[in-house]
Amino acid sequence: MVTINCAGMQLARAPEWSGSASLEHRFALPNGASLVASASSQFTASRWISVDFTPQERAPSYVTGNFDLSYSPQGGRWLLTGFVHNLSNAFILTGGAQQLFAPPQAYATVDPPRTYGGRIIYNF
């Protein structure tokens, strides 16, 4: 049997510090169309990803950002967007645990790596 004293330990998946910031700007184009640029950033301090409090379950801090650029013609019937998310390609642990039985194993869930692509939205 394993006993772990959790007194004074940080709540799992709840970093002491985290935050986000975002900026969006709309550019009016001469032909009545618009271009919207948006950028966002998130940061999180190190945190425990499970309640076992083993060293393997301590996730490091991270900073990452996203960028989107959207074009909409006059009338707004459609929207074309290009994006890059997780610009820093950070390895972001969101959860996990360690198996304490022999042999010790660990598993984790992670956010996606850097992703990029585009979207077309059509309103009819």
Q: How confident is the model at residue 71 (pLDDT cuts 50, 70, 90)?
A: very high
Q: How many CB atoms lie within 10 A of CB 71?
A: 15
pLDDT tens per residue, range 72-86: 999 889 999 999 999
3-state SS class at 100: coil
Residue 2 has a pLDDT of 67
3-state SS class at 57: helix
Residue 39 has a pLDDT of 98
Cα–Cα distance measured from residue 41 to residue 108, given in angstroms and rounded to the nearest whole number:
23
8 part of a folded domain: no
12 part of a folded domain: no
13 part of a folded domain: no
Residue 101 has a pLDDT of 67
∠ Cα 70 71 74 (to 5°): 145
43 part of a folded domain: yes
Q: With 0.85 as the threshold, say if the pTM is over it.
A: no
* Residue 77, Ramachandran bin (φ over 0: left; ψ between -120 and 50: alpha; else beta): alpha
pLDDT exceeds 80 at position 108: yes
102 part of a folded domain: yes
Residue 104 has a pLDDT of 67
104 part of a folded domain: yes
Instruction: State the total domains in the chain.
Output: 1
The range of the structural domain enclosing residue 64 comes to 18-122
Average pLDDT for the chain: 90
49 part of a folded domain: yes
109 part of a folded domain: yes
Spatial contact of 60 and 46, defined as CB atoms under 8 Å apart: yes
Mean pLDDT to the nearest integer, 45-65: 88
Residue 103 has a pLDDT of 65
